[in-house]
Amino acid sequence: MVFVTKSKPNQGFTLVELLVIIALMGIALMIATPNFSEFFAKQKLRGLGGELLFFTKLAKAEAAKKSSPTYLVFNKTDTTNWCIGLSEDATTDPACDCTTVDSCMVDGIERVISSADYTNVSFDTNTFPNTVAISPYKGRSLGGTATFSITIDGETKDLSLKRSSMGRDRVCSPSGNSLRYPEC
């Protein structure tokens, strides 16, 4: 009589196999980390472009809804400390100072875009007046351009908010190297 013993296959990993996997994951993470930081910086600038377009559309809609102007206020102390506010009333004191809490209100909601929300994004140039009145008639106002940028690994990505006097708003890239926006 012959007894046959079934051997169990080895279950699990050896310590060497586990160390190899951990080393490979570490190498992959080191390679991917710079790409993630660049991705998040680009997303920050893309988000600002979308929020700027939202602000201008909201200003036109509010002006038409209330049959009175709304005001887009640009406040720039330097390229890294800036804010943009939206207000229904330019006569209040202070008249939409976006550095002051609850001074830029639309329908009881504070509407402010701030450099605190977009760290490392600089507000480079602005040809708008400090306060832009958006007319209730087709959203017309004075035209202008506001340009923002962020530098990622020595390469500058930029975008501009352009507004025509007829009320057409668009976000574009002056250098053509930016994100999903077309060249200006």
Looking at residue 22, what is its pLDDT? Answer: 93
Looking at residue 93, what is its pLDDT? Answer: 46
Question: What CATH number does residue 82 fall under?
Answer: 3.55.40.10
Looking at residue 2, what is its pLDDT? Answer: 66
Looking at residue 125, what is its pLDDT? Answer: 86
Looking at residue 10, what is its pLDDT? Answer: 65
C-alpha pair distances (Å), 140 with each of 6, 42, 89, 100, 146: 85, 31, 17, 27, 17
Rama region for 18: left / alpha / beta (φ>0; ψ in -120 to 50; rest)? alpha
Looking at residue 24, what is its pLDDT? Answer: 92
**4 found inside a domain:** no
Cβ atoms of residues 66 and 88 within 8 Å: yes
How many independent structural domains does the chain possess? 1
How many Cα neighbours within 13 Å face the side chain of 58? 19
Tokens of 128: 């708008």
**88 found inside a domain:** yes
Cβ atoms of residues 72 and 78 within 8 Å: no
Query: Could you tell me the pTM of the whole model?
Result: 0.74
Parallel, antiparallel, or unpaired for β 155-163 and 144-152? antiparallel
Structural domain span for residue 137 = 37-172
Tokens of 118: 């977009």
Closest Cα to residue 82, out of 36, 147, 137? 147
Looking at residue 150, what is its pLDDT? Answer: 84
**68 found inside a domain:** yes
How many Cα neighbours within 13 Å face the side chain of 42? 14
The gap from C-alpha 27 to its chain's centroid, in whole angstroms, comes to 31
Show pLDDT as tens, one digit a residue, over the chain (184 residues): 666 666 666 677 788 888 999 999 988 888 766 667 777 877 888 888 889 899 889 988 888 888 888 888 888 888 888 888 888 876 654 567 777 788 788 888 888 888 888 888 888 888 888 888 888 888 888 888 888 888 877 778 888 889 888 888 888 888 877 677 888 8
Tokens of 160: 């501009």
**96 found inside a domain:** yes
**27 found inside a domain:** no
